[in-house]
Amino acid sequence: MDKFISNYIEGFMGSVVSRNPGEKEFHQAVREVVESVAPFMMDYPHLMDQKILERIVEPERIIIFRVPWMDDRGEVQINRGFRVQCNSAIGPYKGGIRFHPSVNLSIMKFLAFEQTFKNALTTLPMGGAKGGSDFNPRGKSDAEVMRFCQSFMTELFRHIGPNTDVPAGDIGVGGREIGFLFGQYKRLRDEFSGTLTGKGIAWGGSLLRPEATGYGLCYFAEQMLATRGESFEGKKVNISGAGNVAQYAAQKAMRLGAKVQTLSDSDGFIYDPEGLTEEKMEYVFQLKNIRRGRIKEYVQKYPQAQYFPGERPWRIPCDIALPCATQNEVEVADAENIVKGGAICLAEGANMPTTPEAIKIIQGAGLLYSPGKASNAGGVATSGLEMSQNSMRTSWTAEEVDQYLRRIMSDIHAACVKYGTREDGTVNYVKGANIAGFIKVAGAMADQGLV
Ligand code: NDP
Ligand code: 2IT
C-alpha cells in the first residue's frame, strides 16, 4: 500500500483508539472499513474536506440506561440497556437488539457501525443502529424475560418509532422477546405501528423474516461459489451456532444439496457424519426454539453423532464454513484448520465472526471469503420488507418475499464484484462491501450538509 495512505490510516486509527479507549471490537470494525475505503477516498477530495470518515465513526447518538426488574424469587436485578444510533443518512435507524452477558459499549458500537454499511448494501432506505443489554436470558423463565423486556422498553420507547428507529432481534432476542417488547411499546405509545421487526405473522410480521438471514447467507454463498463454477451440491458444510441464523442456514444448505455436518453453542459442538436431514432439523427447531435446550442433547437422539464439549467445529474438514454464532469465533488456529481441511469458501452468517489475522489466512489461501455485512444482510433486508408491508398495511406471500430476498442478495453480490474485483479477476468481498456501503452513506451525508 502507498506510504501516504498507510500513514493516513494509522493516523486516523490512532485518533479513533484514543477517542474510544478500550473498545477493541469497535476499533477492529472501524479499521477494516478504513483500510478498504481510504485508498478509494483519496480520489474524492470533497469527502476528505467534509471529514465524512471522521463523522461516520462518531455515532449520532448513544443512549445508555438502567434496566431494573424483579426475578421470580422476588429479588431485584439491575441490568444496563444500550441503543447506539450510528447513522441516519439514508433512512431511519435500523438494527437488532442483543441480550447476552457479554454486551458492552464496544460491542454495541461495532455492531451499529457494521449495520450502517450492511443496511446501505441492502439497497433499502435504512440507517444503522444496534441495541441490547447484558441481561442473560439463559435459564430465565418466560415471566422473567417478559418483566425484563417490559422494563427495557419502558425507557427505550422514547427513542424509537416507525420513522425514527426500528429495532429487531439479534443474539438472545427472537420471536418471544420481540412479542414482549412490542406489547409494551404499543401500550406505552397507544399506537399499533411497525416500530419493531421480526413480529409474529398475526400482528404485522413478515413471512420468511425468521428464515431470512440463514437463507440469504446461502443465496449469497451460492453466488460466490458460482464465480468458480461451484455450488452447494454434494459439499460438506460446517456451521457454528444453533440459533436463528445457524438453523435456517443449515436448512437451506441442506435443501441446496449440501451435507451439513456440524452445529454448536457456547458449550461445544456436534458432528453428525451422516449430515442433517429435514427430520433432524425438525428436532433441532423443537430443541432450541420450544424446549430451549442445549445442542449436546442432539447426540442422545441421534447417537451416530458426536459431541465435543468446549470446542468449535472448525477442525472437522469441510468444503464450506458458515460461522453463525458470534464475533471473533474463528481465530488463527481455526482458520488454519479450515484451510487444512480443504475448504473453498467461508461465508459469514454472524457479525465479524472471523478475527483480522484469521481473515488474512483464509484470504491468503485463496478461499472465497465474505464479510457478514454482505452475506448476512438478508435478515435486515427482510426487516426492511416487513417495514414496507407495515406501511402499506398489506402482507406479501412467502414466494414474493423470497423473490425480493434473492434479488437483494444478488444485488449485494454484484456490488461486491463491482468494487472488489482484483486485477487477477478474483473478488475481494471485504473491499467491495465496504466501498459499496460507504459510497452510498458518504454521498448522502455530503448531500445533507454538516449534520
Ligand atoms: P441466537 O441467539 O438465535 O443464536 C446464537 C447462537 O450462537 C447460539 O447457538 C449461541 O449459543 C451461540 N453463541 C452466542 N454467543 C456465543 C459465544 N460468545 N460463544 C459461542 N457461541 C455463542 O442468535 P442469532 O442466530 O440471531 O445470531 C447469531 C449471529 O448472527 C450473531 O452474530 C448476530 O449478530 C448475527 N446476525 C443475526 C441476524 C438475525 O436476523 N438474527 C441478522 C444478521 C446477523 P448459546 O446458546 O450457548 O449462547
Ligand atoms: O445484525 C443484523 O443485521 C440483525 N440482527 C438484524 C437487524 C434487523 O433490523 O433486522
Tens digit of each residue's pLDDT (9 = 90 or more) over 264-283: 999 999 999 999 999 999 99
Closest Cα to atom 9 of ligand 2:
95
pLDDT in tens, 334-393: 999 999 999 999 999 999 999 999 999 999 999 999 999 999 999 999 999 999 999 999
- Which residues are registered as beta bridge partners of 88? none
Task: Give the C-alpha separation, 48 to 46, whole Å.
Answer: 5
For residue 37, report the distance from its CA to the centre of ligand 2, in Å.
Answer: 23
Any idea which ligand is nearest the CA of 128? 2
Query: What pLDDT does 400 receive?
Result: 98
For residue 451, report the distance from its CA to the centre of ligand 1, in Å.
Answer: 34
Does the C-beta of 386 come closer than 6 Å to ligand 2? no
373: annotated active-site residue: no
Task: Give the C-alpha separation, 399 to 402, whole Å.
Answer: 5
Between CA 50 and CA 59, with CA 54 as vertex, the angle to 5 degrees is 115
Phi, then psi, of 161 in degrees rounded to 5: 170, 165
For residue 96, report the distance from its CA to the centre of ligand 2, in Å.
Answer: 4
Query: What pLDDT does 413 receive?
Result: 98
Does the C-beta of 242 come closer than 6 Å to ligand 1? yes
What order do you get walking across the sheet with 368-370 strand by strand? Answer: 306-309, 268-271, 259-265, 236-240, 320-323, 345-347, 368-370
For residue 309, report the distance from its CA to the centre of ligand 1, in Å.
Answer: 18
The residue with cell 455450488 is: 231
Task: Give the C-alpha separation, 283 to 280, whole Å.
Answer: 5
Stretch 252-267: mean pLDDT: 98
Q: Please tell me whether residue 78 adopts helix, strand or coil conformation.
A: strand
Does the C-beta of 430 come closer than 6 Å to ligand 1? no
Report yes or no: 346 and 362 within 8 Å, Cβ to Cβ. Answer: yes
Closest Cα to atom 4 of ligand 1:
243
* Residue 1, pLDDT above cutoff 80: no
Instruction: Name the residue of 326, 382, 383, 409 whose CB sits within 8 Å of the most ligand 1 atoms, as the mutation to test its pocket.
Output: 326
Does the C-beta of 373 come closer than 6 Å to ligand 2? no
Q: What's the whole-number average pLDDT of the chain?
A: 98
- Please report the sign of the dihedral spanned by the C-alpha atoms of residue 376, residue 382, residue 388, residue 390: negative
Stretch 321-328: mean pLDDT: 98
pLDDT in tens, 115-165: 999 999 999 999 999 999 999 999 999 999 999 999 999 999 999 999 999
Nearest to 370 by CA among 354, 391, 347, 342: 347
pLDDT in tens, 78-88: 999 999 999 99
Candidates 109, 118, 130, 199; catalytic one? 130
Does the C-beta of 325 come closer than 6 Å to ligand 1? yes
